[in-house]
Every structure is written in C-alpha cells, then in structure tokens.
Amino acid sequence: MAAMVYAMAYIDLIFRARSAYLEGKKYLEWNAHPELKKAYYEEVFAQREKEIEADFKAGRLTPAEEKEKIDLAQFREQERISESSLKYAYVWFQTAVKLFSPPESRWVKLSRQEMPKTLALWKKELDARHIAYQDYMFE
C-alpha cells in the first residue's frame, strides 16, 4: 500500500514538472513571437466578451454592468499582453526545479538548464526598460 502511494506521488511530481516545463517553454515562445501571445489573449477576451453579452441578453446584467465587465476584461487583456513573458517563463522553470524535485525527472533537468538562460534574458529586458532589481528578487 505504501509503495503504491509512493509510486503515485512520484508519477504526479513528474507530470507536474512536465506541465511546468511546458508552460515555461510556451512563455519563451511568446517572447520570441509576441503576436502569438497577443492572439491568445485576444481570443480569451473575445470568449469573455461573449459570456458577458450572453449574461446581458439573459437579463443578469444591466447595461452599465455589462460595460463595466467588458472594460475590465479589456483592461486585463492589455495587462496580460504587456507583462513580461520572460518573467513567467523563468518562474515556471523555477517552479519545476524547486517544487517538483526530487525526483530529478527529465523535465526538472530541462527546466534547470533553461533557468540561467531565461534569467539572463529577463535581466536584459529589465535593464532595457530601466527597471532596477537585485539578484535576491529572482529567488
């Protein structure tokens, strides 16, 4: 019984590390191709806008509430698009390494390899934006 619980936990950690690594790679891809990130969040906004309009048509929202919710959704979309993809990539790789190891799975090893490169790119981005930072902030 204990061996089964241990095996299930082991497998769960491997899958979680894989998921974190793949999220990190997605954000790295978005950094290289910001149009993909923009298209993704525009689709999220369009879906949310449809939900809000459906609520309005069903009588669950007043016109003022509908406008407020759409404005908020649009603001969130713009914020997500403007946020640093490198920051999120680094955090996802860091998550795989710090939270989902041991075991030292393939995904943890790959994340550990990506972390220094991603951090260097993120620091360059921060420097270019003239944003002050200290190394302890990345831990």
Cα–Cα dist 108/39, whole Å: 29
Token pair belonging to 136: 């302890």
Task: Give the confidence band of 1 by pLDDT, cuts at 50, 70, 90.
Answer: confident
Predicted TM-score of the model (pTM): 0.88
Domain that holds residue 77: 2-138
Average pLDDT on 52-63 reads 96
Q: What tens digit of pLDDT does each residue of 121-138 get?
A: 999 999 999 999 999 999
62 band by pLDDT with thresholds 50, 70 and 90: very high
- Rounded (5°) CA angle 49-38-25: 120
pLDDT at 54: 97
Spatial CA neighbour of 16 closest among 131, 127, 89, 97: 97
Q: What percent of the chain has pLDDT over 90?
A: 96
Predicted pLDDT at 2: 87
Cα 125-129-133 angle, rounded to 5 deg:
75
User: Which parts of the chain fold into alpha helices (H)?
Assistant: 2-32, 34-57, 63-82, 85-99, 106-128
Q: What is the domain count for the chain?
A: 1
